A and B are shown apart, each in its own frame.
Chain A
């Protein structure tokens, strides 16, 4: 192993040895500039977009490079699969490399089904709300303060949108094959690998005769580590190669197709297989320029505490609950939405405090051109900045009313 380098705290520039992690502090001289990433406004961390701009907003601006996003699947795995496709499509548009692993569908099938990005010149029939933002159209290309306003349509014909952060996709069309071909994609399809797994000599049994992880997970981790090392995401290649981010999408980990009986039994025989895999994955991510999205069918896992442990081992965790097939589908309260979204965990990375959302009741809706996430209920307005005197209209009337002689009462309150 190389000697530890003392690069944390100094202006690191582009140096990334395999002993430092990908969390780079914002250095004064030059930032690591990779297309499709930007430093976070909170702590200067390098973040990428998840492909869904409203999800980026909800998890604090984006997904930090070197972290893991866990998505707890909805019952029919429709919206979580959609989020995985958005994530990979964003990688294609930004020019990142992709790594897709699945036990169910072939990775090339998943890549062919990616939604097509909305190009700028046909973006004119955009919804009205995006055009009401006041913005200087002659401003510089990349806005560092008002970056969210970058998504206003500009007159451009080429797909020169990699300077943007976060794109919109049209789910009714699939991505052009030429764009897909341009992206470098590594796939891991378990049935292809299981042939090699069973033919290789069995790992020597430990004292109790039981290895900590089933072979599928070991094969996945080994393959992922090999790809990261070969392509130089952990800094092992010389500096002449320009830096890029690897987007890892792992579909339905923990399901029975991976050889894990976590979802099938109350007392699984490999109870800690998935958690060990997630620990290894965390170690891989922290030491390379990569970001991972993992979907887990949590509704099949009986043990709530185990789900809690899985969430603890991931950095950001989001749970989806769709209304399809449940009685909520016809409930008028939820008629505008397709499901509920719960942000279970947001990481604190390199800082004590993270940006907490002010509201945790969120619902999502998948429209043709946008996956929107909105708040469902308004919480009580309890914050240090709220001015209590200005709510005098209603509060004053309430005080009058409660004193028993609310004669000059408010038109809203009638005692």
Chain B
């Protein structure tokens, strides 16, 4: 949990806004440090369902250890439900159509069938253990790298359907939170901006309530400033205007420093 990011977003583990859909997107850089922040943030009091599609469980566990949260303990207590995409995927990819393995990764077998299996997995795990569901706060869904399913053949429409269903369940019905990471590759000004991950990012930006867009510095590579983050709150029905803030950041071993543009300690 990064203290500076908490103050930027005006939230703390004791009081945060319910029913939020947070979209973390990056362009030609790596925004996974924000996912680690949100994971350790929400594990301080909520039940989390984490779809880790690109990294192994031990990776998140090692980083969270440095941020002060133990994922193993959370998983044993039932507070964390972790889907390890890499581990489950091999069986599905190589065994063809045998019905072993979780149906959550059915899209690997047949990409045109969409992410229905994944949604059923998420839905089932949030409803499970009814007796202890009241111990934790509202449920949280986190997806590390939803755009990797585009590389595996799923269409943009299917992914947007999945996020819409999840939003209806998590944000509207259960008043929980969703945090999704999407990665884009192309530059924004290129002509072929109709490419899959761009469309996905635009579609998800329309659905979400808070976006954090991470990109590299426009002036080039710098060793001490790793990039900039644009935080954008979308207006809600209570009339708040769309608010945008821009920060630069530097990732350290146990946290991240956020500072206003041009005020990095390397420059001053």
Contact = CB atoms under 8 A, between A and B. Distances in A.
Nearest to B2: A352
Given A272-B152, A283-B86, A221 B93 contact: yes
A204 B97 contact: yes
Nearest to A203: B96
A313 B267 contact: no
Interface string A1-12: 000001011000
A275 B152 contact: yes
A304 interface: yes
A279 to B, nearest CB: 6
Given A8-B61, A204-B97, A272-B151, A348 B186 contact: no
Interface stretch (A17-25, A74-82, A105-113, A319-327): A17-25
B123 interface: no
Interface in B216-265: 221-224, 226, 251-256, 265
A360 B221 contact: yes
Contact of B36 (A272, A307, A352): A352
B223 A275 contact: no
A272 B87 contact: no
Contact of B63 (A221, A275, A352): A352
Interface string B65-108: 11000101000000000000011011001101100000000001
Nearest to B89: A283
A312 B145 CA distance: 11
A272 B223 contact: no
Interface stretch (A27-35, A85-93, A206-214, A407-415): A206-214
Interface in B6-61: 28, 30, 32-33, 36, 54, 56-59, 61
Nearest to A277: B93
B113 interface: yes
A20 B152 contact: no
A210 B153 CA distance: 11
B153 A276 contact: yes
A284 interface: yes
Given A19-B87, A305-B192, A9 B253 contact: no
B97 A350 contact: no
Contacts of A286: 56, 86-87
Contacts of A276: 93, 108, 151-153
Contacts of A284: 90
Given A19-B87, A287-B87, A383-B223, A348 B93 contact: no
Given A207-B112, A279-B151, A382-B266, A351 B253 contact: yes
B96 A350 contact: no
B215 interface: no
A391 B65 CA distance: 42
Interface in A46-68: none
A271 B32 CA distance: 26
A352 B253 CA distance: 6
A196 to B, nearest CB: 16
Instruction: Identify the 4 closest CB pairs spanning chains A and B, nearest first.
Output: A308-B185, A275-B151, A350-B62, A283-B86
Interface of A: 6, 8-9, 19-21, 23, 25, 203-204, 206-208, 210, 212-213, 218, 221-222, 225, 271-272, 275-276, 279-280, 282-284, 286-287, 304-305, 307-309, 312-313, 348-353, 356-358, 360, 382-384
26 contacts: A203-B96, A206-B109, A206-B112, A212-B153, A218-B94, A221-B94, A276-B108, A276-B152, A282-B54, A286-B56, A305-B185, A305-B196, A307-B185, A308-B185, A313-B148, A313-B151, A348-B33, A349-B59, A350-B59, A351-B253, A352-B36, A352-B254, A357-B223, A382-B222, A382-B223, A384-B266
